[in-house]
Amino acid sequence: MSKLVECIPNFSVSKEVDPVVFQGLVDVANSVPGCTLFDVQSDGSHNRCVFTLIGSPEGIEEVAFRLCKKASETIDMTKHVGQHPRMGATDVIPFVPQTKDVTVEDCVEMSKRVAKRIWDELQIPSFLYEDSATRPERRNLAACRKGQFEGMPEKLLQEDWAPDFGERKIHPTAGITAIGARMPLVAFNVNLDTDNLEIAKNIAKAIRGSSGGFKYRMAVGIMMEERNIAQVSMNMVNYEGTPLYYAYEMIRALADRYGVRIIGTEIVGLTPAKALIDCAEYYLKIENFHCHEQVLEYHLIDMK
């Protein structure tokens, strides 16, 4: 099997809000040899889209840079409005190893090369986060993003928040980007049958690791404007340390306190099969459960 890396860049635009800019990013993602655009998800309330790309290390590095360049040319953060926290046109670029011959350390080096090139050629500064982080507090994406685009100029002047690449100032319209390497996570969202955003925020705070909730869980409460419902939006950074069913059951219990129900869930991007198998084992109460591990291979035959 060829060496494969996954990249999941997040952009501060959506198909629903600006279809032309969105399509421009899709076109760039499909134009780079050695990688495949595996999945695209867009949300108008978040005003954000998430691309999932898989390919060779060289192809993934190139497409990450080209997408950041296109975003900087077409997205103006001074005009951006959306429910999801954000600090840049290209908000985050994570690199994730997908085959055994690619390590997290390899992806860390990739993140540094891409961050340097983005600064050298585009003048967009960046924080290194997760396994690429140069300081403990920068492992957490939420800590890097705190202040968002509007508060970032002041934040960068603080002693501990100089960019890892670039000067202590944001790009005037593209902001700043978080770039890093990490193991697979699960982007897991839970929708509630209420339009009360405070309920979702309170639940998110109760379960969020940084607020004393579950370890390995990041969570925020947001509104899904097009459906007029509140959502608990989560990143499960270690789905074995904190399984998906832990999150679901705790949110259900907390929602019950407010007299609301869970009406649905969603998963954004690729998800390790084991994360879902663990849920099946838990809810079906299978005794002496043994799962034959299926290995999913991504082939480069159809890649340009």
pTM value > 0.85: no
40 within a domain of the structure (yes/no): yes
Q: Could you tell me if 227 and 159 lie in one domain?
A: no
Say if residue 166 is in the same domain as residue 53.
yes
Together in a domain, 54 and 190: no
pLDDT tens digits in sequence order for the chain, 304 residues long: 588 999 999 999 999 999 999 999 999 999 999 999 988 989 898 899 999 999 999 999 999 999 999 999 999 999 999 988 999 999 999 999 987 788 999 999 999 999 999 999 999 999 999 999 999 999 989 899 999 999 999 999 999 999 999 999 999 999 999 999 988 888 899 999 999 999 999 999 999 988 888 888 889 999 988 899 999 999 888 888 889 999 999 999 999 999 999 999 998 877 888 888 889 889 998 877 665 444 333 333 333 3
Could you say which of 149, 181, 213 is where a domain stops? 181
Domain range for 240: 186-284
- The residue from 163, 181, 199 where one domain ends is 181
User: β-strands 126-130, 177-181: how paired?
Assistant: parallel
37 and 139 together in one domain: yes
300 found inside a domain: no
Tell me: do 207 and 109 sit in the same domain: no
What is the predicted pLDDT for the residue at 294? 40
The answer to the question of residue 28 being in a domain is yes
Question: Is there a single domain that holds both residue 32 and residue 167?
Answer: yes
Q: What is the pLDDT of residue 226?
A: 83
3-class SS letters over the chain: CCCCEEECCEECCCCCCCHHHHHHHHHHHCCCCCEEEEEEEEECCCCEEEEEEEECHHHHHHHHHHHHHHHHHHCCHHHCCCCCCCCECEEEEEEEECCCCCCHHHHHHHHHHHHHHHHHHHCCCEEEEECCCCCHHHCCHHHHHCCHHHHHHHHCCCCCCCCCECCCCCECCCECEEEEECCCCEEEEEEECCCCHHHHHHHHHHHCHHHCCCCCEEEEEEEECCCCEEEEEEEECCCCCCCHHHHHHHHHHHHHHCCCCEEEEEEECCCCHHHHHHHHHHHHCCCCCCCCCCCCCCCCCCCC
140 and 29 within one domain: yes
Instruction: Give the residue numbers marked as catalytic.
Output: 84
Same domain, yes or no: 96 and 224: no
pLDDT of residue 19: 96
Assess whether 136 and 92 both reside in one domain. Answer: yes
Count the domains in the chain: 2
156 found inside a domain: yes
